[in-house]
Chains A and B, each alone.
Chain A
Amino acid sequence: MKIDIEEKLKTGKDLQLSVEEKTSMKAFLLSQATLSLNQTPQPSPYSIFSTWQLRAFSGAFAVFVIFFSTGYLAQGSLPGDTLYPVKVNVIEEIIALTHLEPTDKVGFEIERLNTRLEELTLVSANQSEPVDLTFFAEQVSEHVSEAVSILNAVENTDAETAENKISLLSKLNDVTQKHEDALDDTDANPMLVEKIGESSNLTETTLTNEVDDYLETEGPETSSQYLSEAVNFITDNLDRLETSDQDNIEKQLQDVNEAITDGDMAEAIITILEAKNYLQIDS
């Protein structure tokens, strides 16, 4: 028997409050509303502070000013500066606490990696004497492993969750690759190169495994649909880019087509996600 699911859902439209329920609720709401309109504001009983309260407030204000001025100065610090560990270990960790959902947490770790990348570029461009990048390298490594472990802990309850995961992993992979590329242009120390290389391998392997799992679990129909929606998204937004960037994306779309022709859906998905990242960064 063919089931018309939309009709089944529409049966829910009949549900409503009874006349009594609706009338009594309305009476209550209107009484509350009228009451609030007639209320006059009461003067605060705490308008005059005692001396000890003023001292406590002044002390708290001084701590507040010192804390935030240090934070403000630390924000612009670079690897090798005295305040750099304050920026990474205190300020960013406090901001990290405001991200509660796994996807937000990973998004924030990706943002931190982008900040590290900008710092690396600035240090490479401005350094007049060698800078110890050990602390910096450890931070990059920590951001990557933190993001990967958060994503590994998320269970693939449905296709959308799995798709969000591979999209975030692709962004993570993208930024670690950029770190690697940035190091190719500098005389970076071997320890830094090794740490970034390890992080890059970790994101690449995790992404490949996650895409394989997605294809196996969701099957060809869902994954083809996902792929075609990604292609549509890219082609719809292509005209927003400069001609040279359009050429790059079109090349990636050709690679996707070739991968599909070769029956390599995993490669097709990874490439389309790269193109999406490129488009989103550029836009």
Chain B
Amino acid sequence: MNKPLSLFENLYDKYADGIFRYLFFKLGDRERAKELTQDVFLKAWQSLVSGTDIKYEKAFLYKIAHNLFINEIRTNRSKYSLEEMTDTGYEPVDPKTNSENEANHNELLAKLNQINESYRTVLIMRYIEDLPVKDIAVILEEKETNISMRIKRGLEALKKIYETST
């Protein structure tokens, strides 16, 4: 098999679920998260064939995903504004869930949506995607100390939201 193609296939098998999960928890829209996941891998393929030196594939893919997310928010600002979502009776995913897992995801998504965007990003990367602080710092192009501080504050903010809802 062609070398870049087999490398690309391996990347997809290994990271498709993670990239989709990251985008889903950032956007709260399963269908759009799927479309953007596809775009992430198309962009990754373009980089592969153009000979880009990919040192660390995981951080490379999450960086593309993060950039596409920012682009998505910029172009559809009103759709993803929390105020707008609340005003229009926004439900993050189908409320008629029939499994415990889905209910957990819905609850987590709803709570994550209530915290600051920058906290949400680092918490998803750290605890849902298991990315080390060092990699998150590379993806977001920030200092590790800033990321650690943001994780700590994000956890506190999320905890407050869980506490007030129980």
Contact = CB atoms under 8 A, between A and B. Distances in A.
A12 B42 contact: no
B135 to A, nearest CB: 17
Interface residues of B, number: 42
Range class of the A interface residue count: 20 to 34
Nearest to A25: B38
Contacts of A32: 42, 45
Contacts of A21: 34
Contact of B123 (A9, A11, A13): A9
A34 interface: yes
A16 interface: yes
Q: Is the interface of A mostly helix, strand, loop or mixed?
A: helix
Given A16-B17, A16-B21, A32-B42, A8 B108 contact: yes
A86 B127 CA distance: 52
Given A25-B34, A30-B5, A37-B49, A12 B128 contact: yes
A36 interface: yes
Contacts of A159: 153
Interface of A: 1, 3, 5-6, 8-17, 21-22, 25-26, 28-30, 32-34, 36-37, 157-160, 229, 233
Interface of B: 2, 4-5, 8-9, 12-13, 16-17, 20-21, 24-25, 34, 37-38, 41-42, 45, 49, 101, 104-105, 108, 111, 116, 118, 123-124, 127-128, 130, 145, 149-150, 153, 155, 158-159, 162-163, 166
